[in-house]
Each structure stands twice: as structure tokens, then as C-alpha cells.
Amino acid sequence: MAYRVNASNWAMPSRSPGSAYAASEYTASELDPNEQENWDDWEREDQYDAEPKCLFCAETFELPEDAFQHCQQVHGFDFLAVKRSLGLDFYKCIRMINYIRKQVQLKPDLANTKEFKLTGDEDFWEDDELLQPVLEDDALLFAFEELEIADDIPEDLLEKETQVDLSNIQPTTEFEKKLLAMLHSADERYSELKSQFEDYQTMVKKTFLDNIIDDTRSERSMSVVSVRTGTGKALEDEGNYYFESYAHNEIHEQMLKDKARTEAYRDFMYENKDVFKDKTVLDVGCGTGILSMFAAKAGAKKVFAVDNSNIVQKAEANIKENGLDNIITVIRGKVEEISLPVAQVDIIVSEWMGYFLLFEAMLDSVLNARNKWLAPNGIMAPSHTRILMAALDDEDLKNDRYNFWDDVYGFKMSAMKGPVINEALVDFIKPHCVMSTVATLKDLYLQQIVTRQLDFKTPFEIEATRDSTVYAFAGWFDTWFTRDGHPIPLSQEAQRVNGETYLTTSPFGEDTHWKQTTFVLEKPIPMKRGSKIRGVFTCHKGTTNPRELECEIQYSIDDSSELHIQSYTLRS
């Protein structure tokens, strides 16, 4: 039975035996009825606007305490124990919830974690950007402060069928005295948390929500970019977290630990020191400064490291710690807007590649820098990239992502299949599932290509190498670094030219953080060895968010007149 505190119209939550997390009987709107109109985004009546969602996986629950208990039992993360052991205050709890949510977005594999640990030494605890909700209407942000209050009341008190009004009670028994003391303590704790939560509501509205509306002047507007399409129309990037997502250590750790990626850049610079000696280098999107430091160690006279993320502060510290601050100058800002103290640079290095090569549209900024500053005989590193595609006979992929909805615990959920089949998937594919020749979809010669050519429409032809069934197409990219920056002549089958540095994201190569991109077919294609799939692959920036990619595959089998068309979106 609930214990009611009459003065605040607040109900102590009840809980089931053995559960550390208790349900609340009050709603967010009850915190301050006068604030209701000003907090529309987080408004609730008798229930949460959005079902409480696990911090790690996609599972949702009826009550927040069930979600917290699931986190403890399934993912090994006891929110209340972490809060107490690390002595977390209200705002650090908010940051912790939003930090975990962001990490799951960046690393979907966390959904499978069985033990998630935090030590208190992480960088995010003072990051005020994490006070902004990652999930709209995140019920756990409303509920976490109730956990400790509920947990402080002994089970034997909660199990009794008793209702208490503090304004009238005159304790006569030891039980009533004990209960009254507990309720007074809980009421004081609640008042404190209520005040903190109201302050938090005001802070989020003022600091974040208003900034989204007034993005022309806000810090967050730095992540809104205009990208020119072939028609000259400017598109606004609605993924307002692009630059902010690169401000945290984890994403850089992931990229630096990608040995194939990082060592390709290192090897190109260290094995071609005669090319870099006494040269001026521009590093676009410098991140931690690793490429700039490679360039300096390779003999560059001057390096300009540019990034529009808060990571530049750590880049400066890294560069100074390694005694390279006399060579490397760090510049904060968008490359489209900054100025350099030199008229031109000899070499531009940048790790701009995204999923399926062009996701995130960072190449637009690199080409802008090339047009503004690269000397006539300057070098782009990398100099040449290529997008490739093949057919897969991976039936498990189709079953896991699409056919799953045909039988969900005995129920059909066909309405869920549309969005799944139209989303390009980023994951590792099994090399043995590649059952066709490989087609080149696009060659990008970085010295020559212009922005409008990044949207492309390419005919392709692939041939089945065995009798099988095609369930999906898969795409990846290859990258070359050349000493003079010029494209190198490559045959369809060629991968590497002697003397050049080569990086592949192929399923047949070393794993990289780019993985591969998969386009699942709605209708599988039975194929005989030697049969051919001919078609047209179209790829362009997203119409609403130019950092995303929209793709269309038109194809037919052999000489069949039946044309299949399927569209996909590659989004974050």
C-alpha cells in the first residue's frame, strides 16, 4: 500500500518483494502544475509519453523501475548501486543516463553487454552537453530520483496496508513513530529532488531547447551545414549532433584502434618522408591530432590541424605533450569559415570516409579546403577512393532483419517490415556469403572530383559465381594514397599498385570500424552460376539530412524484362 505525504500530494511508490526499483504514483505534471504549458515536450498525464526504455537495448517496459531492474539483471548495470558507490548527485545521474544512451547510439553492440562498468574517472561527468535528453520523453530521467527514496524504506513497512497523512497523525506506537520519521525524511528528500528537477527543466529549456529554435546564434548551430546539390539548392543538416558526436573520447578511441585505418595513414607519411619534408600540411577534421603528428614526424615544416569539435582542446594538449606545438597549429572552426595564415598548402590529409564511403558528407568540406588552399601541384591524401558492390546469399541476414516480423511470439507484425527493408545496414558480412563478381559503382579521384559528382547514378553488372540465392547486395570501399596525389590506373580486378599505400574495407580484408553496408532484398533472387544481374545504382545525399544517404537499386536478371526497384536510406 502507498504511503501518502499530504503536503505535497506525492505518493511513495510500492514495490514488489526482491525488487530494488520501485514504481512512482506521481507524474511529471504533478511536480508543478503551473509549469505544465511551458514543458510540453516532457508532458505526461497518468503515464509516460514514451514507454520506459532499457539503457542498453531496445526493450521497453510499462514502468521505469522495470527498465532499471532489467538493466541490472540482463546487462549487469545496477543504477542505484553505481549512484551510491560513486556518490553521484542529481546532475551527474542525468549525465550518466544520457552518456549511456549516446554510447549505445555510437556502439550498438552495447545492447549485448552483460556487464557495464563506470569508475567515476570518465570525462563525461562534467559535460553539460549531456544534460540534454538524448531520447525524447526519456522516462528514466523522471524516475531515477525515486529509486533511493523507495529503497530507503524497509520492506516490512512497505508491505503493511497503511496510509498516512502527516498533517494529522499523532504517533502512539513504535511502528508509527518509525514510519513517521521515515516519511518526514522522504518528504524532505522529495522536496530537494523536486526543486532540482524543476531547475533542470528550466535549464534544459533555456540552454538547449531555445538554442535549437535560435540556431543561427547558438553553439549548436555550428553543426548545421549547408551542402550544395547539383541544382544549387542548399540543404540543412538536421542531424544537429554531428560535430558534438566527435567531442568525446570513445569515438576517437574506436577509430585509433582501427589498425588498418590508422596505420594506412601512418605508413603513407612515414614511408614517403621525402614527399613531406619541409611541406605545409592541412589536416581537415584533425580529431585527436594523430594525423597531424604523423605529418610533423614525417618532416612537415608546418601543419594546420582544423576541427569544429571540442576535441581540439585535447588535440592541442596531445600535440604539446609530444613537443610538436612548434610545428602544429590547431584551429577550431568549420573549414568553410576559417582563415589560414598562409595562401596555400602543399598537402591535405583527412580521414573523411564514412559508412559506404560518403555517409556524413565530410568530403564536401575536404573538397572546399582543396579548392581554397591546395597548391597547383599539391597532394590529396588519400588520393583515390572506390565504392564497390557484390551479391550475398546470406539467408540468416534476411531472416534476422526481415522475416523475423512474420512470427513474433506467435503474432504477425508485417507493418514493421517496411522500415527494416528500406534501411541500409552497417555490419560485418561473412566473406563466404559473397557469391558474385564485384562491381565498381564509383571512382572518386580526389584531385579532380567536384561536389556535385558525389551524387551519382551508375550502371552495374555482376555475375553469380555459384548456384545460390541472392538475399542482399553489399557495398564497401577501397582507398589509395599516392606520392603525387594523382589517380592511378587500376583494372577492375586490381587492388594494389606497387609503391602505393592501400586501405580496404572489403569483407576479405582486415576488419575496420567502417564494416560493410548491406542492402537487403525484399524478394530473394535464385541464381545459377554464370547468370548476371544488370542494373543501375543511384546514390545521393538525404533530402532532409544531407549527412545521410539515400540509395536506389534498379536491376533485372539476365535478359529478363522484369525490372526490380528498391530504395534504401543509410542513416545514423
Instruction: Answer whether residue 368 shows pLDDT above 90.
Output: yes
Weakest mean pLDDT among 224-233, 248-257, 479-488, 506-515: 224-233
**Residue 536: its pLDDT value, please?**
95
- Measured CA distances, 45 to 29, 49, 53, 224, 279 (Å): 6, 8, 18, 34, 64
Mean pLDDT of 244-251: 53
**Residue 278: its pLDDT value, please?**
97
pLDDT above 70 covers a percentage of the chain that reads 69
**Residue 92: its pLDDT value, please?**
87
CA torsion 539-542-546-547 (nearest 10°) is: -80
The reply to whether 45 belongs to the active site is no
Task: Name, of 252-261, 350-359, 396-405, 482-491, the range with top average pLDDT.
Answer: 350-359
From CA 377, how far away is CA 363, in angstroms rounded? Answer: 20
**Residue 114 exposure: Cα atoms within 13 Å on the Cβ side:** 0
Q: Please, what are the domains in the chain?
A: 64-149 (no CATH), 250-381 (3.40.50.150), 384-570 (2.70.160.11)
- Measured CA distances, 184 to 143, 148, 406 (Å): 20, 15, 54
Determine contact, residues 388/476, Cβ cutoff 8 Å.
yes
Instruction: Answer whether residue 492 shows pLDDT above 70.
Output: no
From CA 226, how far away is CA 216, in angstroms rounded? Answer: 12
From CA 391, how far away is CA 406, in angstroms rounded? Answer: 24
Weakest mean pLDDT among 136-150, 152-166, 417-431: 152-166
- Catalytic option among 146, 148, 360, 548: 360
CA torsion 182-188-191-193 (nearest 10°) is: -80
**Residue 36: its pLDDT value, please?**
41
**Residue 496: its pLDDT value, please?**
54
The residue among 153 and 327 whose pLDDT is bigger is 327
Nearest to 309 by CA among 384, 235, 360: 360
Instruction: Answer whether residue 217 shows pLDDT above 90.
Output: no
Question: Three cell numbers at 560?
Answer: 529478363
Mean pLDDT of 438-462: 93
Residue that the C-alpha cell 526493450 belongs to: 59
* C-alpha torsion sign, points 482, 487, 488, 492: positive
Nearest to 212 by CA among 41, 414, 15, 17: 41
Determine contact, residues 394/436, Cβ cutoff 8 Å.
no
Q: Cβ neighbours of residue 102 under 8 Å, at least 6 residues apart?
A: 130, 134, 245, 248
The reply to whether 360 belongs to the active site is yes
- Measured CA distances, 200 to 63, 79, 149 (Å): 22, 20, 19
Instruction: Answer whether residue 215 shows pLDDT above 60.
Output: no
Q: How many H-runs (helices) and E-runs (strands) does the chain carry?
A: 16, 19
Strand partners, 123: none
Determine contact, residues 94/196, Cβ cutoff 8 Å.
no
- Catalytic option among 65, 129, 244, 351: 351
The residue among 153 and 57 whose pLDDT is bigger is 57
The residue among 88 and 301 whose pLDDT is bigger is 301
From CA 519, how far away is CA 392, in angstroms rounded? Answer: 10
Mean pLDDT of 315-330: 94
E strand or H helix at 373: helix 363-373
**Residue 153: its pLDDT value, please?**
45
**Residue 176: its pLDDT value, please?**
61
Spell out where 276-383 has E strands.
Answer: 280-284, 302-307, 328-332, 345-349, 374-381
107 pLDDT band (50/70/90 cuts)? confident
Instruction: Answer whether residue 27 shows pLDDT above 50.
Output: no
The residue among 398 and 37 whose pLDDT is bigger is 398
Please provide the average confidence, as pLDDT, over all residues in the chain.
76
**Residue 158: its pLDDT value, please?**
43
pLDDT above 90 covers a percentage of the chain that reads 39
**Residue 207: its pLDDT value, please?**
46
From CA 210, how far away is CA 510, in angstroms rounded? Answer: 45
527 pLDDT band (50/70/90 cuts)? very high
**Residue 542: its pLDDT value, please?**
85
Mean pLDDT of 43-59: 71
**Residue 422: its pLDDT value, please?**
81
Mean pLDDT of 330-347: 93
205 pLDDT band (50/70/90 cuts)? very low
**Residue 456: its pLDDT value, please?**
92
The pLDDT tens digits of the residues spanning 288-321 come to 899 999 999 999 999 999 998 888 888 999 999 9
What is the 3-class SS of 107-152, one letter each residue? Answer: CHHHHHCCCCCCCCCCHHHHCHHHHCCCCCCCHHHHHHHHHHHHHH
197 pLDDT band (50/70/90 cuts)? low
The residue among 275 and 227 whose pLDDT is bigger is 275
171 pLDDT band (50/70/90 cuts)? low
Q: What is the DSSP string of 529-557?
A: TT-EEEEEEEEEE-SS-TTSEEEEEEEEE
Instruction: Answer whether residue 553 shows pLDDT above 80.
Output: yes
The residue among 384 and 13 whose pLDDT is bigger is 384
Instruction: Answer whether residue 222 shows pLDDT above 60.
Output: no
Mean pLDDT of 361-367: 89
From CA 204, how far away is CA 209, in angstroms rounded? Answer: 6
**Residue 241: its pLDDT value, please?**
42
Mean pLDDT of 269-297: 95
Asked if the peptide bond before residue 382 counts as cis, ω within 30 degrees of 0, the response is yes
- Measured CA distances, 111 to 304, 324, 492 (Å): 39, 40, 39
